[in-house]
């Protein structure tokens, strides 16, 4: 049986850093208020001349180097994002060309914060079906382009960045299971009210910013993330105590803590980067994974559960033996 496994990881963060103290000068807020309610201390902001493809290319280079693969080795590119460079062509084709990857399938997925999980799940299926041998998967966002900086409830949350992985076939179990879900009835709790066919000219203005009903999002997110994590473990016949690491979407420290509690998992087994990155949507899980790998916490052979929850609502999990 053919399995898929992550052969390399990488991440890229823009140079500009916006701290909570910087935000105190922009809106009526405070470092203490932001930290206690969200866990965020700082976030990275893409430069004016940087786009999502720029961030993706840099993260991909690191992942490719880590996996020891060249552009010629890659035969599929999948990118999860809500903030592509252009409406079309899709961002994966732009990244493919810039990296010098030969002609191959290249496409993007838009499932908000669950984008990377959806993309990785798709790569897993292609490899297991012998439809690809080496897949570049990226989660990337330039969410700060969508922010209304006068809205203190949302502008403190988000940041920019990119995370990437290389996925290859393996004779040994790597990705054990993936679970995806969505429920559009919750659309009005978290959304961005403009797009290519609706009020696109208002994007990034005070008229149009990220719309979120925080308390309601929290309730559904915690319940859903707990359920999808439990299902992933049950379907694999794995006890919660066997899990080495949880790598959750870095939306809010309270959601992360509540999810860990539902799993009866100590925070010492949770990779947390929200303090340094903020909520980077589709980029948050792959960047957190890379942080855990690079600092030596996540080791080969360990059992890792990644999960995410985003606007839509969409959600998903990937259980793997790293």
**Does position 207 have pLDDT exceeding 90, yes or no?**
no
Residue 249 a catalytic site member: yes
User: One of 44, 249, 252, 277 is an active-site residue; which one?
Assistant: 249
Q: Determine the pLDDT at residue 205.
A: 57
Tokens of 265: 């998992």
Q: Do residues 138 and 64 make contact, with C-beta atoms less than 8 angstroms apart?
A: no
Residue 142 a catalytic site member: no
Residue 153 a catalytic site member: no
Residues in the chain: 322
Tell how strand 106-109 and strand 135-142 pair up: unpaired
User: One of 20, 44, 113, 134 is an active-site residue; which one?
Assistant: 113
Per-residue pLDDT of 89-107, as tens digits, reads 999 999 999 999 999 999 9
Q: Report the mean per-residue pLDDT for the chain.
A: 96
**Does position 246 have pLDDT exceeding 70, yes or no?**
yes
Burial classification of residue 215, based on how many CB atoms lie within 10 Å of its CB (0-12 exposed, 13-18 middle, 19 or more buried): exposed
DSSP assignment letter at 81: -
Q: Whole-model pTM?
A: 0.97
Listed in sequence order, the DSSP H helices in the chain are: 20-24, 31-38, 52-67, 91-99, 115-128, 214-236, 253-262, 274-277, 284-294
Q: Do residues 118 and 314 make contact, with C-beta atoms less than 8 angstroms apart?
A: yes
Q: Determine the pLDDT at residue 201.
A: 65
């Amino acid at each position: 049986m053919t399995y898929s496994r992550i052969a390399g990881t990488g991440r890229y963060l823009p140079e500009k850093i916006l701290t909570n103290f910087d935000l105190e000068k922009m809106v009526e807020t405070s470092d203490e208020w932001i930290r206690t309610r969200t866990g965020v201390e700082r976030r990275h902001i893409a430069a004016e001349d940087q786009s999502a493809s720029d961030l993706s290319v840099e993260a991909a280079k690191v992942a490719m180097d880590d996996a020891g693969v060249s552009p010629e080795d890659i035969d599929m590119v999948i990118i999860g994002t809500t903030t592509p460079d252009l409406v079309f062509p899709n961002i994966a084709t732009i990244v493919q060309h810039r990296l010098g990857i030969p002609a191959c399938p290249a496409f993007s997925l838009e499932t908000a914060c669950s984008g990377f999980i959806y993309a990785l799940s798709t790569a897993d299926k292609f490899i297991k079906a012998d439809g690809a041998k080496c897949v570049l998967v990226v989660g990337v966002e330039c969410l700060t382009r969508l922010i209304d900086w006068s809205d203190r409830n949302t502008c403190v949350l988000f940041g920019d960045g990119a995370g990437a992985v290389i996925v290859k076939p393996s004779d040994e179990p790597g990705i054990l299971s993936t679970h995806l879900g969505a429920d559009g009835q919750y659309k009005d709790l978290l959304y961005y009210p403009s797009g290519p066919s609706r009020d696109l000219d208002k994007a990034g203005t005070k008229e149009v910013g990220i719309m979120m009903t925080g308390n309601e999002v929290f309730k559904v997110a915690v319940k859903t993330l707990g359920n999808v994590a439990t299902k992933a473990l049950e379907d694999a016949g794995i006890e919660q105590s066997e899990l080495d690491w949880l790598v959750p979407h870095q939306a809010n420290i309270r959601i992360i803590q509540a999810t860990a509690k539902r799993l009866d998992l100590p925070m010492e087994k949770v990779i947390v980067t929200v303090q340094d990155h903020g909520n980077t949507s589709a980029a948050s899980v792959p960047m957190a994974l890379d942080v855990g790998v690079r600092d030596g916490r996540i080791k080969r052979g360990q059992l890792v559960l990644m999960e995410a929850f985003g606007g839509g609502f969409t959600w998903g999990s990937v259980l793997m033996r790293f």
